[in-house]
Amino acid sequence: MRISLDAKDKVRIGEFSRGGSSRVQTKGLDHDFYNETITPFALFLPDFNETYLYMNQTFTSSDFIVDCIEDFYKANKHNFPKVTKLLLNFDNGGENSSSRTQFMKRIVDFVKNEKIEIELAYYPPYHSKYNPVERVWGVLEKHWNGTLLDSVSKVMGYAKSMTYNGVSPIVKLVDKVYETGVKLTKLEMKEIEGKIVRMSGLEKWSVIVPCLEK
Domain-located, residue 171:
yes
What percentage of the chain reaches a pLDDT higher than 90? 74
Q: Report the pLDDT value the prediction gives residue 208, as an integer from 0 to 100.
A: 98
Domain-located, residue 36:
yes
Number of domains comprising the chain: 1
Domain-located, residue 179:
yes
Domain-located, residue 214:
no
Q: Report the pLDDT value the prediction gives residue 206, as an integer from 0 to 100.
A: 96
The three-class DSSP label of residue 155 is: helix
Q: How confident is the model at residue 26 (pLDDT cuts 50, 70, 90)?
A: low
Domain-located, residue 127:
yes
Domain-located, residue 170:
yes
Domain-located, residue 178:
yes
Domain-located, residue 190:
yes
Domain that includes residue 55, residue range: 2-209
d(CA 183, CA 144): 37
Question: Are the C-beta atoms of 22 and 147 separated by less than 8 Å?
Answer: yes
Q: Write out pLDDT tens, residues 195-211.
A: 999 999 999 999 999 99
- This prediction's pTM: 0.89
